[in-house]
Amino acid sequence: MKYLILSFVIMFFVVSSVFAHAPKSVDITVSVSEKNIAVSIVHSVSNPNSHYVKRVEVTLNDKKIIEQTFSLQEGNSQEAIYHIPSLKMSDTVTAEAFCNISGSQKKTIIVH
């Protein structure tokens, strides 16, 4: 009986993880003059109330400067605009989006 219950528990986690997936894409748009970046994340899900982008982390020149958490996602995407006072040309900006169930996706750009 123990093995049967254990088998069901394992199957539940395997089946649950099949439906979970990392965000499909992360895009970063930069406005150097306004010192802003816009992060757009595509994460197509069937129920954005229970499966969503949970966290976004932004690094500037390999130093984490922003971490924002979300409790839901509207539709199939998540968007955020961040003000970075020290943003300048040639900086390296990375945005990483984390699914609340499994996986992450990131994008790195050099500011031009």
Distances (CA, A) of 96 to 47, 66, 78, 102: 22, 10, 12, 13
Top CATH class of 22-110 equals mainly beta
- Give 22-65 pLDDT, tens digit per residue: 999 999 999 999 999 999 999 999 888 899 999 999 999 999 99
Which among 23, 86, 84, 93 has a CA at the least distance from the CA of 52?
23
Structural domain boundaries in the chain: 22-110
Helix (DSSP H) and strand (DSSP E) numbers for the chain: 1, 7
Tell whether pTM > 0.85.
no
Q: Are 105 and 25 in contact (CB under 8 A)?
A: yes
pLDDT at 13: 53
